[in-house]
């Protein structure tokens, strides 16, 4: 879990940082070392009450360990504690953030997008939908039923009408239902989910863009989870077609704290048209007196924002550039391959029924059962049994008819059914599929 070499690297970097302030009069803040040590031992003990998110046997929620360079850079920056709201509070870290925005935008074919880091995908999506509401006042926002639940909540907060678009059994936006909604003439923005959090499926962006283009509807791409996979080489044809059109979206959200190897929280919102920044305009003369350059607080709804996030992301980009064909992209391919191989292993087992073939690295599967009530009970029991063997999974609640689309013989005795869900977002998962399957099969043999 802890690589002590990281501490040596951090110490050396701190000494380099300190040398940059050597001309200041001596000052050293003091603290009670013994008291702090006592409290930290208590903190360490309390923090043991966690799932082993860093380990390949954790295949539950979307929790990917940050890269050591991100951890070290983030910790280093805390000795400065920059605030990337105004240049006064984070001169170096604001410059690093601007460079990161250019690099993230270039992943999607944008040379000079407007954008900034946020506390996470929720805030990033809120900003994107707020801009959409300013450009299309009074118009409805629509998103797939499998889009993140926060889209409906954000629209409620912003006072924007919202409608959920039906999903296909494969978890994609139902284009026929989208057509019905667009024909009503009051849709201002369509949210295309590029890697939904339930299944990792990718909405058909080319078809969405084609439909939205005629009436002048905005398209926002929520790529919070799946955005980085644009660099991968092993996407299927339909997913690849969607990623290849991301440059035509009006705005994109991506979360570096998911597949970007960053500590929480680090989201990002990007706008294709820099002119969208005019809606952020505000007056705060005491904040913006030090420079004629753009302050990131001028294009953000958030005020105080941790400069540490920008420092960590910039350091990661230096070590692992987010480009096609690089080491970072190859690790994404390993995650894709792990998802496909896991699906195939489940499909070959009489104990499980995998649902949609994964477009990214998330696999959903049911335990073999005669009916949906039994399937739900077995999934919940296997979830607990696997944890006793240190394999940590996730559960997902689905409409019964969605499972029946993949397991026609199962009787629907309930409206919904609980299935198991595994997120294989660590490259190392590719080598851990055999022990994972062994634990699952052993667990099934112990079911009541």
Question: Are the C-beta atoms of 322 and 228 separated by less than 8 Å?
Answer: yes
* Burial (CB count within 10 angstroms: exposed 0-12, middle 13-18, buried 19+), residue 5: exposed
364, β-bridge pairs: 421
* Residue 221 pLDDT > 80: yes
CA distance 199 to 38: 44
* Residue 165 pLDDT > 70: yes
Mean pLDDT value of segment 200-220: 95
Question: Are the C-beta atoms of 126 and 297 separated by less than 8 Å?
Answer: no
Q: What is the DSSP letter of 292?
A: S
* Residue 282 pLDDT > 80: no
* Burial (CB count within 10 angstroms: exposed 0-12, middle 13-18, buried 19+), residue 446: exposed
For the chain, the farthest-separated pair of C-alpha atoms sits apart, in whole angstroms, at 78
Q: How confident is the model at residue 278, as a pLDDT?
A: 87
The candidate with the shortest Cα–Cα distance to 434, out of 358, 341, 351, is 341
Question: Are the C-beta atoms of 154 and 202 separated by less than 8 Å?
Answer: no
3-state secondary structure of 92: helix
Q: What is the pLDDT of residues 351-409, one digit of tens each?
A: 999 999 999 999 999 999 999 999 999 999 999 999 999 999 999 999 999 999 999 99
∠ at Cα 43 (38, 46), nearest 5°? 130
The candidate with the shortest Cα–Cα distance to 225, out of 420, 57, 359, is 359
CA distance 71 to 439: 32
Alpha-carbon distances, residue 177 vs 150, 174, 180, 194, 434 (angstroms): 21, 6, 5, 19, 41
Q: What is the pLDDT of residues 288-308, one digit of tens each?
A: 444 455 567 777 888 888 999
* Residue 80 pLDDT > 70: yes
In order of their start, the domains of the chain are 91-319 (3.40.640.10), 327-445 (3.90.1150.10)
Q: What is the pLDDT of residues 340-357, one digit of tens each?
A: 999 999 999 999 999 999
Query: H-type helices in 195-326, by residue range?
Result: 205-213, 237-243, 307-319
What is the pLDDT confidence band of residue 287, given thresholds at 50, 70 and 90?
A: very low
Mean pLDDT value of segment 72-82: 96
Q: How confident is the model at residue 370, as a pLDDT?
A: 98
Q: How confident is the model at residue 174, as a pLDDT?
A: 97
Q: How confident is the model at residue 288, as a pLDDT?
A: 44
């Amino acid at each position: 879990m802890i690589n002590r070499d990281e501490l040596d690297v951090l110490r050396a970097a701190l000494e380099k940082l300190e040398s940059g302030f050597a001309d200041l009069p001596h000052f050293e803040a003091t603290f009670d070392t013994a008291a702090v040590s006592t409290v930290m031992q208590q903190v360490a003990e309390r923090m043991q009450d966690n799932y082993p998110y860093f380990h390949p046997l954790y295949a539950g929620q979307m929790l990917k360990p940050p890269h050591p360079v991100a951890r070290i850079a983030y910790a280093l920056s805390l000795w400065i504690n920059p605030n990337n709201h105004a240049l006064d509070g984070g001169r170096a870290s604001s410059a690093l953030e601007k460079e990161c925005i250019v690099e993230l935008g270039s992943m999607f074919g944008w040379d000079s997008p407007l954008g900034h880091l946020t506390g996470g995908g929720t805030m990033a999506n809120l900003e994107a939908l707020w801009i959409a509401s300013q450009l299309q006042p009074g118009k409805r926002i629509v998103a797939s039923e499998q889009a993140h639940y926060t889209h409906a909540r954000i629209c409620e907060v912003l006072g924007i009408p919202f409608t959920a678009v039906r999903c296909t059994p494969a978890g994609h936006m139902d284009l026929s239902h989208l057509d019905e909604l667009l024909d009503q003439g009051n849709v201002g923005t369509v949210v295309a989910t590029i890697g939904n959090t339930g299944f990792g499926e990718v909405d058909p962006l080319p078809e969405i863009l084609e439909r939205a283009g005629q009436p002048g509807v905005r398209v926002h791409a929520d790529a919070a989870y799946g955005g980085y996979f644009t660099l991968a080489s092993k996407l299927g044809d339909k997913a690849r077609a969607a990623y290849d059109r991301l440059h035509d979206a009006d705005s994109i959200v991506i979360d570096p704290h998911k597949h970007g190897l960053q500590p929480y929280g680090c989201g990002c919102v990007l706008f294709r048209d820099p002119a969208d920044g005019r809606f952020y305009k505000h007056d705060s003369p005491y904040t913006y007196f030090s420079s004629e350059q753009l302050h990131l607080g001028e294009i953000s709804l958030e005020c105080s924002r941790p400069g540490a996030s920008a420092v960590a992301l910039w350091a990661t980009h230096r070590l692992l550039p987010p480009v096609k064909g690089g080491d970072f992209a190859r690790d994404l391919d390993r995650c894709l391959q792990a998802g496909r191989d896991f699906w195939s292993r489940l499909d070959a087992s009489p104990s499980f029924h995998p649902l949609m073939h994964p477009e990214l690295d998330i696999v959903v599967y049911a335990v073999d059962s005669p009916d949906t009530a039994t399937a739900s009970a077995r999934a919940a029991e296997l979830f607990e049994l696997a944890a006793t063997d240190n394999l940590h999974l996730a559960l997902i609640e689905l409409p019964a008819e969605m499972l029946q689309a993949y397991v026609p013989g199962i009787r629907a005795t309930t409206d919904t059914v609980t299935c198991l869900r595994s997120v294989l977002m660590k490259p190392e998962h590719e080598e851990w599929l055999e022990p994972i399957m062994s634990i699952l099969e052993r667990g099934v043999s112990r079911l009541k």
